Amino acid sequence: MKTDLFDFTLPDRLIAQTPAQQRDQSRLLVVHRREHHVEHRHFRELGDYLRPGDTLFRNNAAVIPARLHARRPTGGQVECLLLRPAAEGGEWWCLLRPGRKLPPGEQFGLEGQFTATVRKKSEEGTFRVAFDCADGDILAVANRVGEMPLPPYIGERSDATLKALDRERYQTVYAEHTKSVAAAAPTAGLHFTPELLARLANQGVRTADVTLHVGLGTFRPITTDEIEDHVIHREIYEIPAATQQALFAPPGRRIAVGTTSLRSLEDFRRRHANPLGHDYYGEADIFIYPPALFAAADVLITNFHQPRSTLLCLVASFLAPGSADGIGWLKEIYLDAVARDYRFFSYGDAMLII
């Protein structure tokens, strides 16, 4: 299958640089698959489409303020982005800039906060770094002085007010801060407010949590000419026993909040025929593209995605499971969304596919 099928033209002005004034003020494009038509609403009206017994499967991971600014002993600036803990105690895999000036053995740090030593550089261009912190571990340091790891399509922040806004809004209201494991936000969940969640609960809508260690691979475009030749990124996930039960024996529809949540649920469902009776820790390595079928979700909440992305492939699959018809329909929907000035990507608007 040609990757060009998942390409489209997006004006830069529609790439959202800041969130909506209030989370649930985002627009909501509702896709009715069976009737093959769409509606244009707002996210605060989500409850109009949900029923008692439906379950929202949401990612409760917290985004680490993982971007750290430091200096080398010579005074040169270093930008360090924490990605994931390494097996060795106190060490992390990171992205470093300028990487060419930071070979193994080189040090950098932030006065009063930490010193760091580069241990190894991987073939993928990431660095294993050992941290020695003045107070607490490097996660504690990041929570004190780090910046949110905004995706590359959001411009650099120089304004302190915007940085503070990112700290609040590039995080879901239900993020569990004991699970600070994500290098990117589960953006479909950014539209929920405590008040909206309370209204949905009063309607009889349930919630079930997964913890997905969202990595920067989610932003990596497909660079191969053929979809099948792309090597998908891998992401660690955790599914509690109670969530497994809701996945296999739901009282209503299973609603995946986000493409990455759906990918983890689908990975688990394909590996296991029944609930395990205990919490599960695994790694999703599946690439979902048409004509895929789905066993883990009946409804999908998602944002608008980048051209030539694996997430776009998944959404096209969900529009028309078992066929390639969703590709053309998705391009029609996106063309309409562009014409109506929907906002795209992480801080953008949402889509509900039912």
pLDDT digits (tens, 9 = 90+) for 13-60: 999 999 999 999 999 999 999 999 999 999 999 999 999 999 999 999
- Can you give the pLDDT at residue 214? 77
Q: How confident is the model at residue 299 (pLDDT cuts 50, 70, 90)?
A: very high
First-to-final CA distance of the chain: 26
Note the pLDDT tens digit of each residue in 258-289. 999 999 999 999 999 999 999 999 999 899 99
Query: Per residue in 148-206, pLDDT tens?
Result: 999 989 998 888 899 999 999 999 999 998 998 888 899 999 999 999 999 999 999 99
| 3-63+169-353 shares its CATH topology with 67-145 | no
CATH number of 3-63+169-353: 3.40.1780.10
Supply the DSSP string of 202-255, one letter for each residue. HTT-EEEEEEE---GGGGPPP-SSBGGG-----EEEEE-HHHHHHHHS-SS-EE
CATH architecture of 67-145: Beta Barrel (2.40)
Residue 312 neighbours by CB under 8 Å, 6+ apart: 6, 305, 306, 330
Domain ranges for the chain: 3-63+169-353, 67-145
68: which 2 tokens?
A: 């750290």
Residue 46 in contact with residue 27, Cβ under 8 Å? no
In this predicted structure, the answer to whether residue 218 has a pLDDT above a threshold of 70 is no
Rounded Cα gap, residues 193 and 253, in angstroms = 21
State the Cα–Cα distance between residues 210 and 212, nearest whole angstrom: 6
